[in-house]
Chain A
Amino acid sequence: MKRVSPILVFAVIVLAVAVLVAIVGNVFTPYGMSQQNLLARLKPPAFMTGGNPNFPLGTDRIGRDMVARLIAGLQMSLSVAIAGTIIGAVFGSLVGFIAAHFRGWVSEALMMLVDFQASLPFILITLTLLAFFGNSMTLFVILMGLFGWEKYARLARGVVLSAINQPYAKAIVALGAGNGRLYLKHVLPNVASALIVQVTLTFPQIILLETSLSFLGLGIQAPQTSLGQILGDGRDYLSTAWWISVWPGLVIFLVTLSMSIVGDWLRDRLDPMLRARTA
């Protein structure tokens, strides 16, 4: 048994705390995320002079409690990222399986779509669709789901193509198993580790994409909030109230950093071959 590195422990703790806080929600402060306290506007964190112990991390321009804002933002950013990751992984893998199964022109056509998406920065596709269709929560989550599907598709197609040529798969087909049984019960478990590794790579990227867009004012819209949106909100108050921008930035940084560290570790554990190829 290898010694567990303290960095990994730190990363796991950060992620556990983040998820826990997002789940239990707003029990750390009596204030709601949009509750205004106009007598306590732009209050600095409690540890600074002029801080108010009722608002440990300070308040924003209309006196909303930063702790409550951060929890709501964390909940939004995590749920959007989780939803986006699941949609992208399922959709992309499905496309990959279909391409691998039918081969021929179906595969060619699907792979052309994959190449198209891979050839453009995803933020361009997102911004086009947001501009033309107008922003809505549904569209936004779907867009986050579209992020990275092409990577799953490519990966799934490749691994499935090599898996169905393995003797075990041929034996199962020879025994009379149908396609559903072959792919779901036998091939999927064998390609799962590669797909899981991909999940750990795309999850932090989706968080960064969502927070970037929300920061630009093009993602999550008020009265909803996300970590990026809070950060963008604080931009106009940098000279007087740095805490509005710095806290959400720190949370984003810690969560994505931890996810990358855990992902790296997982990659080593699950698939040493893959690491050699992608490192």
Chain B
Amino acid sequence: MTRFWLLKILRTAPTLWFVVTFTFVVLRTSGDPVVALVGADATPEEIEQFRALWRLDDPLWVQYVRYVMQMATGQFGISYRDGREVIDIIAERVPWTLMLGLFSYIGAILIGVPAGIVAAIKRGSTFDNLIMATAVFGFALPNFFLGILMILLFSLSLQWLPSSGTGTVWHLIMPAVTLATFTAGTLARFTRSAMLEVLDKLYIRAAAAKGVGYWKRVILHALPNASIPLVTIIGLNLGELIGGAIVVETVFAWPGIGRLLVTAVSSRDLAVVQGLVLIMAVTMVLANLVVDLLYGLLDPRIRVQN
């Protein structure tokens, strides 16, 4: 049992190490790291200062070890655009993305999972077909286009909602809905197929035979078993959500880390890019770890197998 948890935790270590090594290698192969991090129009003094600070004359492996240590302690360096610590710039954006992400994630689960359950128990009905058609549409409709369509309809035509920025709850609605649509569609599809698989099982029929009521069967007997693949999908979708936030925050001028990443990439503020990528990647890896652990918690069979 303890061995299961330990193994899972140990397995994330190489991925984290890969991520840091990846940014180190990219930083070193893309050109002079000084120019990359200080900016092309730095003065010779600044460059000298930077060289001394990062001790770039040490052997490469020493620099590498130091780099890993620095990244691990959140010392991402200084943004050459506004001269502030990268960690501070990121820290003030994180709450906005968390707010948007949580709001849309909870919304997606509250809509997607029940829709999938109903689609499964009413298999073949109009409602089922409608849900599945919506899911396919959601898959093909790019989130930036959905966002633009919503702005056209709700901000410009109907003038119900503000088209961008922050300030009120109303500002949150369109970005959150745009971000949630794809996730809700995916969740609905997976809930449906997971439920369909479970509803056919013998133990559900056994429960029916001994007189367990219909909804009790669905909610108490089928749903917990269907939730195992579902948890994986919810975890995997976090990546989609981060990718989605990058686009959606830009469409709606939402001041989160996704938009920060886009502006940093286009202005080549590399210290910021590096810090953001590391933080996002670590979040992803840890989220996957949590999902793995939940998996073991939900399904005792998995603990034993490992």
Contact = CB atoms under 8 A, between A and B. Distances in A.
B86 to A, nearest CB: 13
Given A120-B281, A121-B284, A261-B136, A238 B265 contact: no
Contact of A256 (B140, B143, B193, B243): B140
Nearest to B30: A132
Contacts of A132: 26-27, 30-31, 36, 270, 273
A133 B247 CA distance: 21
Interface residues of A, number: 43
B242 A121 contact: yes
A253 B145 CA distance: 9
Nearest to A235: B148
Given A131-B268, A216-B247, A235-B148, A249 B284 contact: no
Given A124-B280, A124-B281, A279-B193, A249 B142 contact: yes
Contacts of A38: none
A164 to B, nearest CB: 26
Contacts of B36: 132
A34 B30 CA distance: 33
A245 interface: yes
Interface in A96-136: 112, 115-116, 119-125, 127-134
A239 interface: yes
Interface stretch (A81-89, A182-190, A191-199, A204-212): A204-212
B27 A231 contact: no
B15 A116 contact: yes
Interface in A224-249: 228, 231-232, 235, 238-239, 242, 245-246, 249
Nearest to B193: A279
A128 B15 contact: no
A256 B142 CA distance: 9
A252 interface: yes
B89 interface: no
Sorting the interface of chain B by its residue count into under 10, 10 to 19, 20 to 34 or 35 or more gives: 35 or more
Nearest to B19: A120
B193 A119 contact: no
A216 B193 CA distance: 35
B141 A128 contact: no
Given A131-B270, A134-B268, A242 B145 contact: no
B239 interface: yes
A123 B246 contact: yes
B276 to A, nearest CB: 9
16 contacts: A119-B285, A120-B19, A121-B243, A123-B246, A124-B242, A124-B277, A125-B22, A127-B265, A131-B264, A131-B273, A216-B266, A218-B262, A231-B148, A238-B148, A242-B152, A252-B142
Interface of A: 112, 115-116, 119-125, 127-134, 204, 208, 211-212, 215-218, 228, 231-232, 235, 238-239, 242, 245-246, 249, 252-253, 256-257, 260-261, 279
Given A121-B243, A212-B142, A238-B148, 14 more contacts: A115-B15, A116-B22, A124-B242, A127-B246, A128-B22, A128-B273, A128-B277, A129-B26, A132-B27, A218-B266, A239-B156, A242-B156, A246-B149, A260-B139
